[in-house]
Chains A and B, each alone.
Chain A
Amino acid sequence: MRRLLVAVAALALAAAGCASDLPPTGASAQPSAAPATSAAASEAASAGTGEQSDFFVQADYDAQLAMRTQTAEGPGDKPWEQAIAPQMVDTAKYKKDGPYHLCFSNAAVNNPWRQVGWTTMQEEVALHKEIKEFTALDAEGKDDKQISDIAELQSKGCDALIISPNTTATLTPAVSGACPEVPVIVFDRGVETDCPVTFIKPIGGYAFGADGAEFLIEKVPAGGKILALRILPGVDVLETRWSAAKVAFDKSQLQVIGVEFTDGDAAKTKSIVSDYIARHGKIDGVWMDAGATAVAAIEAFEDAGVPVPAFVGEDQQDFLQKWKDGNLTAVAPTYPTYQWRTPIIAALKILKGEEVPKMWNLPQPKITQENLGTYLQPNMPLLHYALCGCESMPGFPGKWGGK
């Protein structure tokens, strides 16, 4: 009997948790990498989207949305060499004769996106004979390891140091420390210092999130029910995606019935979507902050025997294949993996004394019904990202696991 009492007590405790319902967007306990804008944060939650993220910065949001329609400078067939609204900086002081030793501190290679990118970067290195040595250290997703990696690389006689930071705030001092020693190139995630010679990134998370949300607003009739799926709270690159989508949904006539965290896990995603289908009967659109579990979410609709609604995915082959096979109404914003080519190109430009953009904003295309055929590559692995910009490289497709 006592056993039963405790079991009941445990349940009561769990039930008590229900009363203190978390806001759907989840207040982040992590220190914000960007200053919060209180005006946006206090905006009333009107469309079921909850409070605005602490990471939301209006100026960055405006800049990124504007960049989507600006024409990039540079060769049109090589988007990884293009830059949007570049402000060039002089690099004459770094000029030296080759051959060169390039170094790379990588945050991790722990997901398919980073794997595709890492392969692409290595192939880019192989294209340049003037690179005699390329030293790369993998931080395995750990800030502390990356800090010591960066210190270690400084003693290896690198001519240029490329850094893909694991987290923004924690890696900033390490990057600042390296800047006086060697020309530093940062890409993918940012740092809170402008000491690197160049910072390379696609347009960014706001543009990514807005692309998906705007597609749903266009395709789903007013009053339609939208389910938003996010990986986890508190990561700036993901917070910006959702916060831009939230702004768009708040202005729309759509009803966001849920904002859920999936941990990026396929089984969990599928269960969550199944639960929503069961509870709401009909869902008219699904927004996702990353496409890796999009196919699992689509399968939840298939298995429930209901039509697949309008979907936001990403440029992974499994999603593109499903899109074509099921003739879906879908869009795929991208965070192109071709950005892994750019740091090598930038490093060589810097060492040759050619000017580079201070903020190297790469184009960030989206895949639509019209250009789906261009990006769907049935010979590539299901988890391959289409925007690798690697099709003309000598190792393609074998190095990326394709046939």
Chain B
Amino acid sequence: MKRAIPIFVVLAGLLVAIAAANPFFLEPAGFLAFLKRVAPLAILAAGQYFVIVSGEFDLSVGSLVTVEVVVAARLIDGDEAMTWPVLALLVVIGLLVGLVNGLVTTRLRVPSFITTLGAMLILSGAVFLWTGGAPRGALSQGFRVFGREGVWAVAILAVVVVAAVLLMRADFGRTLVAAGDNEKAARLSGVRVDRVRVFAFMLSGLSAAVAGILLGGFAGVSAQVGQSLEFQAITAVVLGGVVLGGGRGHVVAAIAGAFTLEALFTLLNLHGISGALEYAVQGVIIIAAVAVGGLRLPALRLTPSKV
């Protein structure tokens, strides 16, 4: 948890800066709006954390979010009665894509970077083929309420955070970190590495489904909804001090990383900077965070620290 302290310091600094630039942020409605905006990325970061801490990557979540939203709009087509069946289907799609990613990575021994890169391309290609570039149909009001009403989005975020923390405290969490830290040692001590990794991918897929439900609810159907979300999620996780390659880092810090990234974007926007610079900032963060992680490694060997 010690590694996670800097991210909270940075986050606190950013929140103070936002409040100074925009006092509305301190009012309940203003803060709720911020939480609503962070929720999808925070949930994706939690999902991505499971995969990264187990030593893998999931690049497919952005495309998966788009798939979820486009499929939902097409199947619901404005019909309220379809809301719940389609919500259930979205969760199944998310889990299924995660399962396939996990099985291909663990059973076929395809590096997850390649597996999920392939999945990303397949999913975005499939969406393009199916929609021809512009989605059809419409989401129902019952579907949109989750992303439009701040209270719902925050409640879902809270459930995800609690569930993630509980999972990491359970046996699953310990074996997941062990698998990412030292795969051989974990195998020798009886951890079913492949199985926990498949679970991690499924959790990531599930997080994409939930994020898709929130994002689709927030602003409606769009074929660009998931664009570059995978990189934002990975940036958030790395920003939270989680080491790429696995084995180290805390899920709460990864979620705090998502808050920090979104706070940074909000602050840039308040100062009239947006668009292309967001990508540049993300790039600087990802390189800087990994560089610092690399510099720390020798020190860690001298004084073994706990996760």
Query: Chain A: residues with CB nearer than 8 A to chain B?
Result: 2-4, 6-11, 13-14, 17-18, 21-22, 24, 108-112, 114-115, 232, 258, 260-261, 263-267, 269-272, 274-275, 278-279, 295-296, 299, 303, 318, 381-383, 401
Using Cβ atoms and an 8 Å threshold, which residues of chain A touch B268? 14, 17-18
Interface stretch of the complex, out of B97-105, B116-124, B182-190, B270-278: B270-278
- Contacting pair B273 A3 (CB below 8 A): no
Point out the residues of chain B lying under 8 angstroms from A9, CB to CB. 288
Number of B interface residues in the complex (CB < 8 A): 54
Given the complex, which residues of A lie within 8 Å of B163, measured CB to CB?
none
20 A-B residue pairs with Cβ-Cβ distance under 8 Å, sorted by A, are A2-B292, A4-B6, A10-B284, A10-B285, A22-B272, A109-B133, A110-B134, A111-B134, A115-B133, A265-B224, A266-B222, A267-B225, A275-B22, A275-B266, A275-B269, A278-B22, A278-B24, A278-B25, A279-B270, A295-B220
List the B residue with the shortest CB-CB distance to A115: B134
Let me know if A13 and B134 touch, CB within 8 A. no
Interface check B191, CB cutoff 8 A: no
**Contact in complex: B218, A270 (CB < 8 Å):** yes
Closest chain B CB from A27 CB (angstroms): 12
Verify if B142 is at the interface (C-beta below 8 Å from A). no
**A7-B271 contact given A115-B132, A266-B220, CB 8 Å threshold:** no
Specify the chain A residue showing the minimal Cβ separation from B144: A299
Closest 3 CB pairs of A and B: A110-B133, A266-B219, A112-B134
With both chains docked as a complex, state the minimum distance between the C-beta of A205 and any C-beta of chain B, in angstroms: 21
Interface centre among A258, A265, A269 (most CB of B within 10 A): A265
CB distance from B254 to the nearest CB of A (A): 15
Instruction: Report the bound CA distance from A274 to B33 in whole Å.
Output: 9
Tell me, rounded to whole Å, the shortest Cβ–Cβ distance linking A32 to chain B: 19
Residues of A within 8 A of B132 (CB): 109, 115
Please pick, from A6, A13, A263, the residue contacting B292 in the complex, using a CB distance under 8 A: A6
- B241, CB-defined interface residue at 8 Å: yes
**Chain A interface mostly helix, strand, loop or mixed?**
helix
Q: Which residue of B lies closest to A21 (CB)?
A: B272
CB-defined contacts of A6 to chain B, threshold 8 Å? 288-289, 291-292
A299 touching B288 in the complex, CB below 8 Å, given contacts A109-B132, A115-B133, A264-B224 = no
- Which B residues have a C-beta under 8 Å from some C-beta of A? 3, 5-7, 9-10, 13-14, 22, 24-25, 30, 33, 37, 132-138, 148, 215, 218-222, 224-225, 227, 239, 241, 264, 266, 268-275, 277, 281, 284-285, 288-289, 291-293, 295-296
Closest residue of B by beta carbon distance from A233: B275
With a cutoff of 8 Å between Cβ atoms, the chain B residues found around residue A265 in the complex are: 222, 224-225, 227
Once bound together, how far apart are the Cα atoms of A260 and B275, in whole Å?
A: 9
Task: State the CA gap A279–B156 with chains docked (Å).
Answer: 27
B133–A303 touching, CB < 8 Å: no
Which chain A residues border B281 with CB–CB below 8 Å?
10, 14, 17
Give A276 Cβ to nearest chain B Cβ, in Å. Answer: 10
Check if B273 sits within 8 Å of A22, measured CB to CB.
Answer: yes
Name the residue on A nearest B10 (C-beta).
A7
Decide if B273 touches A272 in the complex (CB within 8 Å).
Answer: no
* CB pair B270 A275 closer than 8 Å: yes
* A3 & B241 in contact (Cβ 8 Å cutoff): yes
CB distance from A322 to the nearest CB of B (A): 11
- Chain A, residue nearest B222 (CB): A266
Contact assessment for A299 and B136 in the assembled complex, using a CB-CB cutoff below 8 Å: no
State the Cβ distance, A45 to closest chain B Cβ, in Å: 14
Q: How far is the CA of A275 from the CA of B269 in the complex (A)?
A: 8
Cross-chain contact A17 with B277 (CB below 8 angstroms): yes
Q: Is the CB of B275 within 8 A of A383?
A: no
In the assembled complex, which residues on chain B have CB atoms less than 8 Å from the CB atom of A264? 224
Q: Are B271 and A18 in contact (CB under 8 A)?
A: yes
- Tell me the complex Cα distance, A376–B270, Å: 37
The answer for the CA separation of A69 and B171 in the assembled complex, in Å, is 75
Beta-carbon contact of A279 and B24 below 8 Å? yes
Which residues of chain B come closer than 8 Å to A11, judged between CB atoms?
Answer: 10, 13-14, 264
Within the complex, which residue of B219, B225, B292 is in contact with A299, where a contact is CB–CB below 8 Å?
Answer: B219
CA A383 to CA B137, docked complex, whole Å: 8
Tell whether, in the assembled complex, residue A270 and residue B24 are in contact, meaning their CB atoms are under 8 Å apart. Answer: no
- Known contacts being A109-B132, A260-B274, A296-B219, is A7 close to B289, with CB within 8 Å? yes
Give the docked Cα–Cα distance between A236 and B136 (Å): 28
Residues of B within 8 A of A24 (CB): 272
State how many angstroms separate the Cβ of B290 from the closest Cβ of chain A. 10
Once the chains bind, are A381 and B24 in contact (CB under 8 Å)?
Answer: no
A381 B224 Cβ-Cβ under 8 A: no
Closest to B287 in A: A10
Q: B220 — which chain A residues lie within 8 A by C-beta?
A: 266, 295-296, 299
State which of B137, B218, B264, B295 has its C-beta within 8 Å of the C-beta of A14: B264
B219–A18 contact, CB under 8 A?
no
